[in-house]
């Protein structure tokens, strides 16, 4: 099993001072979760102060989005180079809110992924279906399409540094969550599909994390599934105590002693 990945997506929340205060509190507890890969994704305005606050820590820093263009006349956009200059190692690409509120297509998301890898960033590549698509039994075909079209022109070597986040759109910010069994089924298909694309045999190597109203009550059951390697946390990551409780989950799938 992969080292568990616990990522906080703060969306359009937290001022610079709030982000820095949160990170200071998180760093103080770092020794209690040294066996986890923890990532925080503040808004753009807080990235550089967050990077400075994270200095000397193993906690990763992610941007919540980036442009598909390297530079130019794209008012309001932020490039991959700007993100790395601000101190980011990771970037969230293709989040359901970007797809469904802002109309991002698989083609645009692919361009972002290509640029992110070119800049040396590690993408957290989000995929997922709407409630209508799930009820129409289109989940698996849609997921495979999003992966296939999203990873065009990306090398097997770059795919190895990818994190994929499965986030059913109907469970984002709704308080609803896929059952552990529903999530496990899709995670297994994701790993199999990525293996096919990268033309590799054997055990899948790309970590797949779950996003969708993850909280302190659901984390244990989710992480007890064989193919769920971590979580992308939204609202429950905004308060330090609740995020720490999620980070410190104990699950039977972890190796003994972990």
Is position 100 annotated as part of the catalytic site? no
pTM beyond 0.95, yes or no: no
Measure the CA–CA gap between 34 and 158, rounded to whole angstroms.
Answer: 26
Domain that holds residue 144: 5-247
Q: Is residue 258 part of a domain?
A: no
Q: Is residue 252 part of a domain?
A: no
Q: Is residue 159 part of a domain?
A: yes
Q: Is residue 79 part of a domain?
A: yes
Q: Domain of 238: which CATH number?
A: 3.20.20.70
* The token pair that represents 19 in the structure block: 């982000």
Q: Is residue 185 part of a domain?
A: yes
Catalytic residue among 95, 104, 129, 187: 95
Q: Is residue 255 part of a domain?
A: no
Q: Is residue 131 part of a domain?
A: yes
For residue 190, the 8-state DSSP code is H
Catalytic residue among 97, 119, 167, 184: 167
62, 109 contact by CB (below 8 A): no
Q: What is the DSSP annotation of 168-180? A: -GGGSSSS----H
Q: Is residue 256 part of a domain?
A: no
Is position 95 annotated as part of the catalytic site? yes
Measure the CA–CA gap between 131 and 169, rounded to whole angstroms.
Answer: 7
Number of structural domains in the chain: 1
65, 91 contact by CB (below 8 A): yes
35, 49 contact by CB (below 8 A): no
Q: Along the 258 residues of the chain, how does pLDDT read in single tens digits?
A: 689 999 999 999 999 999 999 999 999 999 999 999 999 999 999 999 999 999 999 999 999 999 999 999 999 999 999 999 999 999 999 999 999 999 999 999 999 999 999 999 999 999 999 888 888 999 999 999 999 999 999 998 899 899 999 999 877 766 666 789 999 999 999 999 999 888 765 556 899 999 988 999 999 999 999 999 999 999 999 999 999 999 999 865 444 444
**Could you tell me which residues are beta bridge partners of residue 39?**
7, 60
* The token pair that represents 172 in the structure block: 């984002």
Place of tokens 């039977």: 252
């Amino acid at each position: 099993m992969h080292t568990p990945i616990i990522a906080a997506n703060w969306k359009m929340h937290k001022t610079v001072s709030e982000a820095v205060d949160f990170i200071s509190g998180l760093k103080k507890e770092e020794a209690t979760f040294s066996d986890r890969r923890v990532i925080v994704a503040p808004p753009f305005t807080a990235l550089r102060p967050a990077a400075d606050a994270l200095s000397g820590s193993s906690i990763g820093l992610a941007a919540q989005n980036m442009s598909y263009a390297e530079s130019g006349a794209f008012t309001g956009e932020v490039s991959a180079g700007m993100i790395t200059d601000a101190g980011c190692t990771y970037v969230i690409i293709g989040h359901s809110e970007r797809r469904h509120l802002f109309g991002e297509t698989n083609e645009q998301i692919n361009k972002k992924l290509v640029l992110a890898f070119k800049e040396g960033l590690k993408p957290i590549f989000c995929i997922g279906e709407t409630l209508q698509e799930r009820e129409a039994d289109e989940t698996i075909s849609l997921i495979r399409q999003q992966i296939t079209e999203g990873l065009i022109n990306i090398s097997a070597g770059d795919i190895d540094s990818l994190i994929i986040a499965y986030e059913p759109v109907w469970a984002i910010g709704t308080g609803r969550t896929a059952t552990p069994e529903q999530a496990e089924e899709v995670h297994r298909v994701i790993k199999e599909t990525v293996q096919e694309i990268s033309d590799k045999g054997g055990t899948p190597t790309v970590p797949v994390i779950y996003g969708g109203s993850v909280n302190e009550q659901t984390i244990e059951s989710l992480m007890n599934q064989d193919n769920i390697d971590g979580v992308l946390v939204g609202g429950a990551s905004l308060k330090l105590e609740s995020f720490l409780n999620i980070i410190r989950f104990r699950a039977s799938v972890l190796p003994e002693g972990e």
